[in-house]
A and B are shown apart, each in its own frame.
Chain A
Amino acid sequence: AQTVTQSQPEMSVQEAETVTLSCTYDTSENNYYLFWYKQPPSRQMILVIRQEAYKQQNATENRFSVNFQKAAKSFSLKISDSQLGDTAMYFCAFMKANTNAGKSTFGDGTTLTVKP
């Protein structure tokens, strides 16, 4: 079974600064997907970024980028130029890349607070 660990339950960052959220996972699979999701307070979950394990290039979406280290089974999220709207709980998730690829495993989440 796959496990996803987010070792930082809470983090804070000053507006406009950069913050990195950590995620490690355990799997024997070679092909899989990794995701970061954002859940703002009392608002809907949003997919932030996706990484395909077969791609060596780290995924980037505007101010959000990942550092994917396949051998180390590490998948961290970097948020640059943090904004107040980035305040949310962030979940890291793993999904196998096969016909059972709808079955996700989530970490416990990191609550990020962006301070003005």
Chain B
Amino acid sequence: KAGVTQTPRYLIKTRGQQVTLSCSPISGHRSVSWYQQTPGQGLQFLFEYFSETQRNKGNFPGRFSGRQFSNSRSEMNVSTLELGDSALYLCASSPYGLWDNEQFFGPGTRLTVL
């Protein structure tokens, strides 16, 4: 099976712009979760999608949004970018949810906001 893929791998944006990141889960996996990783705040849960519905959401402002398509691919969008949004954004997929013993992460998208 192909692993979890994330595109793009690297992205540079300026403050005020918006960005869309993509995550393709492992075939057959219906749960996709997103995380933000920064040196200062560590790893933080953004949201989880399951069968095209947002099932869980972390404590992030409304500028962070996402969606999931019928093929389980997921996108996350950040609008009105701030310097503090610079981070590694990880996605993970699992068959039913991240309590599964079967969880796989993508390589991440490194976002730099200038």
Binding site for B on A (CB under 8 A): 33, 43-47, 50, 91, 93, 95, 97, 99-109
> B residues bordering A, Cβ < 8 Å?
3, 31, 33, 35, 42-45, 48, 50, 55-58, 90, 92, 97-99, 101, 103-108
Query: Contact at A91–B43, with CB atoms within 8 Å?
Result: yes
User: Closest residue of chain B to A1, judged by CB?
Assistant: B59
Q: A50-B101, A91-B43, A108-B42 given as contacts; is B56 within 8 A of A103 (CB)?
A: yes
Interface contact A102-B50, CB-CB below 8 Å: yes
**A95 and B45 alpha carbons, distance in the complex (Å):** 11
- In the complex, are the beta carbons of B42 and A103 less than 8 A apart? no
Which secondary structure dominates chain A's binding surface? loop
Which residues of the other chain, A, contact B97 by a CB distance below 8 angstroms?
101-102
When the two chains form their complex, are residues B106 and A102 in contact, meaning their CB atoms are under 8 A apart?
no
The contact of A101 among B58, B99, B107, by CB within 8 Å, is B99
CB distance from A43 to the nearest CB of B (A): 8
Q: Once the chains are docked, how many angstroms separate the CA of A106 from the CA of B45?
A: 8
Residues of chain B lying within 8 A (CB to CB) of residue A106 = 42-45
A91 to B44, CA, bound (A): 12
Complex alpha-carbon distance, A104 and B92, angstroms: 12
